Structure 1
Amino acid sequence: MKFTVLTFGCQMNVHDSDWLIRAMESRGWTAVEESEANIFIINTCSVREKPEQKVYSVLGRLAPLCKNPGDFVAVGGCVAQQIGAGFMEKFPHVRLVFGSDGISQAPAALEDLARNHDKKLVLTDFVPEYPEREGGEVSSNLDLLPPGIGTIPGQAFVNIMQGCDNFCAYCIVPYTRGRQKSRAAEAVISECRSLVMAGVREITLLGQNVNSFGMDKKGAELTFAQLLYRISEIEGLERIRFTTSHPKDIAPEVIKAFGELPNLCPSLHLPVQSGSDRILKKMGRKYDRARYLGIVDGLREACPDIALTTDIIVGFPGETDEDFEQTMDMMERVRYESSFSFKYSDRPGVAAVRMHPKVDEEVAQNRLARLQESQNRITRESLEALTGREMVVLLERPSRKQEDGGVSWRGKDPGGRVINVHFEGCAEEAKLGGKLVRVKIIEAKNHSLVGAKLGEPW
């Protein structure tokens, strides 16, 4: 069977799609471009309104491509969990709907539907424990890893948990991904070890709130800090990252790890959402400005070079000009190297839907523009301050802009910053992905850096 996967939303969705591609290829299916496929899998996101609307648009576009009896569409992810069988009522070419817990059953379901053309399946029940997945194992040879969506040479993502217990007032995740379920620590460590044996040099641990790993009802035999220390011991693992962190759950031991573990990257995505104590309370975030800034101080004491990034929502119901100015002040105090910022939008079933007054759309847009302008300035200043520094870059892919006399590649330093490096006299087809190279920063752009290589890649 020929299939394609279309992915929307977060890094967890990208990772889920990568696993699904591997699982189906292990069953003899072939991943192809959309124009060649007869089975289409859409992995959806409902955190914000726009990605959800895109799904309906894509389903309409795919309808004419399902010409034969065996052609069909499968819809997975958060919107699938939310809408369920409703997709099948509106779009007859949808024959499989699977939620976040149902993805582990999706490969078998896809095979079943490919054989039985009149059958339809809905897999949206939540399960009490983390559903381990089979059939999408990594190869023992990095060169044989399939080039799935988001796959970057030398890098891999590992799920350590699923779901969330926080129920922030604006967030639909607990309703679409379910309650928190930690994965067995030994399963996580085993997967990390297998990836490193395959040649992976950087692993990112994924979860809705990695800091609360092991704190759910079933629990786990290790805390998140203990898990970090265990994974750090894997021989050959150059870099460890993790996302996402909820500030209320970050433990002192995790902060301390940034100063003690040599392969824990000095970068952290720490969503603040708002700089106003009043809005943070309405959001149900369970920390205030003082607590958040105390965490930032602790991180910078443990690791002075740590690069901090964040998420910010503007226009939350009831947000005043004063509340927004406190968010702007928080940005200046912390000086995030980058941020994901959005206007608030109602999501079905969350507490904030019932909160008033709603912020005028134009006011929210103006606030967002101001915040993003300030972020662009801080980002530029932060990058300029790095000129002259030496960095080790993990190369990912050829740069979009190329120079004559060689080839330019882009990669990231331990802080997660994008760095472009020119390799003079190097052939365009050179296999540099997944290699490390030491560079000296010679130029700062608006959102990236340029480095001059100081030695040969290894």
Structure 2
Amino acid sequence: MKAEVISLGCRLNIAESEQIRTLLANESDVVVVNSCAVTSAAVRQTRQAIRQARRARPDARLLVTGCAAEIEREALAAMPEVDGLIANTAKLDPRAWNVPAQPLPVRSEKHTRAFIAVQNGCDHACTFCVIPQGRGDSRSLTVAQVLHEVERHLDLGAKEVVLTGVDVTSWGHDLAALPKLGELVRQVLDTFPQLARLRMSSLDGIEVDGDLFELFAHHPRVMPHIHLSLQHGHDLILKRMKRRHSRADAVELVSRLKEARPEIAIGGDLIAGFPTETHVHHTANLSIIEELEIVHGHIFPYSPRPGTPAARMPQVDGRAIRARAADLRACVARMRQRWLEQQVGKPQVILAEADGCGYSESYARVAAPAGTPTGSIVTVTPSQLDKGLLI
């Protein structure tokens, strides 16, 4: 059987998994688990994926890479199912897999959009986060490298490109002349007028530069969908997290975006039950969902990660954390339901996928007309909403 790559976690891992898959295209009887360690639950999912992969492919060589392979190295190496670990920093190097060097992949067979990792690592020190231990310092692709990758994707027929990374808005901080992310996005759009859709992965709102804001606000090929790394809705908790923005900063950014582009859909990452969080803090976390009208929410129950300052802070009871996470998810679900109901009867431009559905420009899930070719962009007007899907 051909090599199999199982991807867990973030969009950056998805992009890297596609590169690993191509590196191993001529290999057989190999299974790679590209792991995640952002939370303790993510580590549990990694271990479960390893066990499931071993049961499904008992004779294959099972290798683990990704953030958990760095942060939980000894524990994963001790699992009887695991044959070896590949360092996270080396996983895109053909030498790490003992295969010949070859061009990196540019498009997933399973996805209609292409994920391009323009940046990796992180220079910040959020008190809850273990990812810098697994990814290292922030480092950026050059403009030329990014343009080369976009060109490859387009040559294979990609219609949408997603620029991704660990801390995407820090792109350029390590390059000569210190370019901002907005400059990179504008160069991509200007160089490739045939690129139909450009989307961004999670952004640190405090680092959204003026050029990037203008592109989100006015450029028709930059999708009206922004996902912000908010983490919390109360200033004291944000300070204890060592985040660089305040609640007011997030509100002001979203307000300006919505004033310029009313149809923009807001997403956000929020942590429930951060150490020292009180009911008052939790109420602020709930209210920012409503104030920003977050319709694409990623809710993370806090879990202490090894070696982080937050792990040494007074912890919230686990039952309270789970209950607060459920509150946040329910609040996002209400906002999302209301937003989806408002999309009924409005034309939606979707990128069709192999499962017969597609994503609108604002990232709503929409059923495609029967027979729509995968990868085509079509306009449909949904007449009903059924279990989160516009029909």
| TM-score interval, smaller chain | over 0.9
- Counterpart Cα distance in 2 of 1:387 and 1:279: 38
Cα deviations by residue, 1:268-319 (Å, 9 ceiling, x for unpaired): 1012111100101001111111111111112112322110111111110000
**2:38 counterpart (13, 25, 47):** 47
* SS of aligned partner of 2:133: helix
CA gap of 1:64–1:414, structure 2 versus 1, over 3 A, is: closer
Moved more, 13-22 or 253-262: 253-262
Aligned equivalent of 1:109: 96
Q: Is the contact between residue 394 and residue 411 of structure 1 (CA under 8 Å) also seen in structure 2? A: yes
- Counterpart Cα distance in 2 of 1:219 and 1:166: 20
Is structure 2 residue 383 aligned with structure 1 residue 436?
Answer: no
Letter in 1 for 2:360: D
Aligned equivalent of 1:29: 27
Give the structure-1-normalised TM-score.
Answer: 0.80
Is structure 2 residue 12 aligned with structure 1 residue 12?
Answer: yes
- Counterpart Cα distance in 2 of 1:421 and 1:292: 34
Is structure 2 residue 152 aligned with structure 1 residue 152?
Answer: no
State the identity as a percent.
26
Residue 85 (structure 1) shift: 5.7
**1:368 counterpart (325, 328, 332):** 325
Cα deviations by residue, 1:401-432 (Å, 9 ceiling, x for unpaired): xxxxxxxx200111111001333xx4xxxx61
Is structure 2 residue 185 aligned with structure 1 residue 225?
Answer: no
- Counterpart Cα distance in 2 of 1:331 and 1:382: 13
Letter in 2 for 1:261: H
Aligned equivalent of 1:396: 353
Moved more, 314-323 or 371-380: 371-380
* SS of aligned partner of 1:271: strand
- Counterpart Cα distance in 1 of 2:387 and 2:86: 41
- Counterpart Cα distance in 2 of 1:339 and 1:422: 28
> 1:114-133 counterparts in 2 under 5 A?
none
Is structure 2 residue 262 aligned with structure 1 residue 273?
Answer: no
CA gap of 1:213–1:134, structure 2 versus 1, over 3 A, is: farther
The count of corresponding residues between Structure 1 and Structure 2 is 390
Q: Is the contact between residue 255 and residue 302 of structure 1 (CA under 8 Å) also seen in structure 2? A: no
* SS of aligned partner of 1:411: strand
- Counterpart Cα distance in 1 of 2:108 and 2:390: 30
Is structure 2 residue 289 aligned with structure 1 residue 331?
Answer: yes
Residue 64 (structure 1) shift: 7.3
* SS of aligned partner of 1:76: strand
Letter in 1 for 2:104: G
Cα deviations by residue, 1:336-377 (Å, 9 ceiling, x for unpaired): 112011210011111100111x11122222222222222211
Aligned equivalent of 1:421: 368
* SS of aligned partner of 1:75: strand
Is structure 2 residue 278 aligned with structure 1 residue 291?
Answer: no
Letter in 2 for 1:263: R
Aligned equivalent of 1:75: 64
> 1:317-328 counterparts in 2 under 5 A?
317-328=275-286
Aligned equivalent of 2:305: 347
Residue 221 (structure 1) shift: 6.2
Cα deviations by residue, 1:185-220 (Å, 9 ceiling, x for unpaired): 11101110221122111000011121111013x456
**2:200 counterpart (242, 260, 266):** 242
CA gap of 1:62–1:228, structure 2 versus 1, over 3 A, is: closer
Letter in 1 for 2:347: E
Q: Is the contact between residue 271 and residue 301 of structure 2 (CA under 8 Å) also seen in structure 1? A: yes
Is structure 2 residue 353 aligned with structure 1 residue 385?
Answer: no
Q: Is the contact between residue 85 and residue 97 of structure 1 (CA under 8 Å) also seen in structure 2? A: no
Unaligned runs of 5+ in 1: 31-37, 115-132, 139-144, 399-408, 451-458
Residue 58 (structure 1) shift: 4.3
**2:271 counterpart (313, 318, 334):** 313
* SS of aligned partner of 1:41: strand
CA gap of 1:85–1:295, structure 2 versus 1, over 3 A, is: same
Q: Is the contact between residue 51 and residue 81 of structure 2 (CA under 8 Å) also seen in structure 1? A: no
Aligned equivalent of 1:195: 153
Residue 65 (structure 1) shift: 7.8
- Counterpart Cα distance in 2 of 1:363 and 1:83: 27
- Counterpart Cα distance in 2 of 1:67 and 1:386: 47
CA gap of 1:24–1:221, structure 2 versus 1, over 3 A, is: farther
Residue 173 (structure 1) shift: 1.0
Q: Is the contact between residue 232 and residue 261 of structure 1 (CA under 8 Å) also seen in structure 2? A: no
CA gap of 1:374–1:22, structure 2 versus 1, over 3 A, is: same
Q: Is the contact between residue 99 and residue 176 of structure 1 (CA under 8 Å) also seen in structure 2? A: no
Aligned equivalent of 1:120: none
- Counterpart Cα distance in 2 of 1:152 and 1:54: 22
Q: Is the contact between residue 313 and residue 341 of structure 1 (CA under 8 Å) also seen in structure 2? A: yes
Letter in 1 for 2:91: I
Q: Is the contact between residue 161 and residue 206 of structure 1 (CA under 8 Å) also seen in structure 2? A: yes
- Counterpart Cα distance in 1 of 2:102 and 2:125: 30
CA gap of 1:86–1:273, structure 2 versus 1, over 3 A, is: closer
Residue 40 (structure 1) shift: 1.9
Unaligned runs of 5+ in 2: none
**1:261 counterpart (215, 219, 223):** 219
CA gap of 1:83–1:328, structure 2 versus 1, over 3 A, is: closer
Aligned equivalent of 2:357: 410
Aligned equivalent of 1:135: 103
CA gap of 1:57–1:379, structure 2 versus 1, over 3 A, is: closer
